[in-house]
Amino acid sequence: MVELIIREANIGDKIHVLKFCKDTFSWGDYIDQVWDSWLLEGNLFICEKQFPIGICHAFYLEDQIWIEGIRIDPNFRRQKIASKLVKHAESIGIEKNISFSYMLIDTQNTKSLSMAYSLNYDIFQTWNFYSLDPKINSNYLVDFEKSLDCKLYTHYVKSWRWLPLNDDVLSSLSQQNKIIKSNVNGNNSFAIITNSEHFDRTLIVTLFSDFGDSVIQIISFLQNYAFDKNYEQIQILTMNKLSKFDSLEHKISFHLMKKSLH
């Protein structure tokens, strides 16, 4: 019987992995676009049985693990390989004395949710993904904000990773004018804007909103900002359900799953 091993990925694994990743979703997959950068970062784990049959990438930052890119060869599913990969990533986090592990799962992906529950992950938050087209839109009123309350806003999205917000991060974002605020009739909306590190000309936005017209002000600003900066697409992540607006399109909803490692 061939032994199942988990190891760090290497350059030679790419061809094997992309073969079983190309049809992950109805539209394909994104692993081919992030593979090289994940390999460079390290902690790209391969589950191997003579050849690669599963992958998982882990990003360790401060007191959390971000687990992403779990993919299993369809011929080897239902063998708890995904669970083994996640446990491997967690074991490294425990060695680093990290307290929490997070992952993002489509709200409709019952199999992945079942896997997460079996590993003692719980739903921490639910987020919505919207796309928005850049365009000239000068009808907005926003300010650049200096700070946010970390007790209310715990994470922001950077290259599809939910990373912790703290005073140092907020100070850096503020100095770069990356925190946007709109206040209309007492309703506040905030947005944190970042560049995607993996997808070209993509603006990633974390939106915190009290609803009302303040959201429209933020969205209008984002369209104009992206157009001026020559972005091709805007990706908005928010816990809110947004009203219809111009090219704003709801794509998918996700559960942000969280587990305590201690």
CATH of the domain at 14: 3.40.630.30
pLDDT at position 25 over 70: no
245 is a domain residue: yes
- Range with lowest mean pLDDT among 37-46, 52-61, 243-252: 243-252
Task: From 98, 117, 139, give the residue that closes a domain.
Answer: 98
Do 250 and 142 reside in the same domain of the chain? yes
Q: Is 124 a member of any domain?
A: no
Q: Are residues 166 and 208 in the same domain?
A: yes
What is the extent of the structural domain holding 94? 5-98
Q: Are 229 and 163 contained in the same domain?
A: yes
- Please tell me the distance from the alpha carbon of residue 150 to that of residue 168, in angstroms, as a whole number: 11
Q: What does the pLDDT read at residue 262? A: 86
Note whether residue 123 is domain-resident.
Answer: no
pLDDT higher for 67 or 196? 67
Q: 92 and 208: one domain?
A: no
Does residue 210 fall inside a structural domain? Answer: yes
pLDDT tens digits, one per residue of 164-223: 998 899 889 989 999 999 988 888 899 999 988 878 899 999 999 876 788 999 999 999
Under the banding of pLDDT at 50, 70 and 90, the label for residue 150 is low
pLDDT band at 245 (very low <50, low <70, confident <90, very high): confident
Residues 221 and 159 in one domain: yes
Establish if 168 belongs to a structural domain: yes
Mean pLDDT along residues 213-235: 93
> Looking at the domain assignment, is residue 118 inside a domain?
no
Average pLDDT over every residue of 151-163: 90
**Do 141 and 27 have their domain in common?**
no
The answer on 251 and 138 residing in a single domain is: yes
Written as six digits, the tokens of 54 are: 């599963």
Residues 69 and 141 in one domain: no
Sort strands 100-106 and 233-238 into parallel, antiparallel or unpaired.
unpaired
Whether 152 is in a domain gets the answer yes
What pLDDT band is residue 18 in, cutting at 50, 70 and 90? very high
Tell me: do 46 and 147 sit in the same domain: no
150, 57: one domain: no
Residue 92 counted as domain residue: yes
Same structural domain, 237 and 192: yes
Whether residue 24 is predicted with pLDDT greater than 80 in this model: the reply is no
pLDDT confidence tier of residue 149, bands split at 50, 70 and 90: confident
The gap between the terminal CA atoms of the chain, to the nearest Å, is 35
- Counting the structural domains of the chain, the total is 2
Q: How confident is the model at residue 26 (pLDDT cuts 50, 70, 90)?
A: low
Are residues 140 and 249 part of one domain? yes
